[in-house]
Amino acid sequence: MNSPTIRDQTILVTGGAGFIGSHITDALVPHNDVRVLDDFSTGHRRNLPDEVRTIEGDIGDPIALQEAARGVDIIFHQAALVSVTQSVDDPRTSNRTNLDSTVLILEQARQEDARVVLASSAAIYGHPNELPVSERTPPDPTSPYGIQKLAIDQYARLYDELYDLPAVALRYFNVYGPRQQGPYSGVISTFLEQAQEGDPLTIDGDGEQTRDFVHVSDVVRANLLAATTDRTGEAYNIGTGESATILELAEIIREVTDSNSTIVHEPPRAGDVRHSQADISKASKQLGFEPRISLEAGIQSLGTAEPIESAVDDEVELPSIDSRG
């Protein structure tokens, strides 16, 4: 299924200058009136197209939110404090940023009669006993961040049921792609930087841990599908349904970048999830979501700066993906 076209809507993207949010913004701008609310603590203005109306402010500020959301039809809520470690060190700040602000978003959406798509996370599953994990897998978060994302899922369901507010939560697995940078960027962007600099690729632990890596263009498609579905009040896994070990990932990156970087092992991170893989059958059946970008093609596009469209079937309609800035 191609990406649904959203046209002639007034749309707010919170965290729209950040990694995922800026790609969602790019996909929406050609046919809609798009606003971005961002405090630029991690996002960058260079990620935003000129056509966007930007409101600089904190998502926890009701006044800034009210200004940004006035008259909107759809809200894509991507702003968050995404560091699991920081949520452990400072759970109050993490809760205020991730959970309290989400309630403000949902309340503002009620006033505007707007649809909401919320960014959730595979962190809600903790250390699953079986793979792949489906939405029926009992949640067992191991950090304040995971608890906050699980609560966001529940708020989406309750606001849909109690207030007839169309809301969908998307449980992202390991998202990667252009513009992913900063202290909390993913292992792929870290490995690429190390390989391109000729530095050793540092792996925490033995490297046999697995992850489900999903390209940001597929995540954008999932958001557009969630914004147009009738199956609201639900949470959906967004991944590829496949997994790769960190060692396999390192080898792919060395090959793509033609790097001679060695691989070194650091002590494992405390509490690190050993294995992760999404069951995406629910998103496939109810949203029509199908990932299009293989891990090899996605890394190739990043390692060589090729447009991602060159790595996929020309007939597939993709949101605009570039590495502006």
Residues 6+ apart with CB under 8 A from 237: 122, 133, 134, 135, 171, 173, 278, 279, 280, 282, 283
Q: Whole-angstrom Cα distance, residue 88 to residue 94?
A: 8
Q: Whole-angstrom Cα distance, residue 38 to residue 65?
A: 10
CB burial of residue 264 (10 Å; 0-12, 13-18, 19+): exposed
Q: Which of 145, 159, 172, 176 is catalytic?
A: 145
The tokens describing 100, both together, are 């309290």
DSSP 276-290: --B--HHHHHHH---
Question: Is 145 marked active-site?
Answer: yes
Residues 6+ apart with CB under 8 A from 71: 10, 112
Beta bridge partners of 82: none
CB neighbourhood size of 305 (10 A): 9
Catalytic positions are: 145
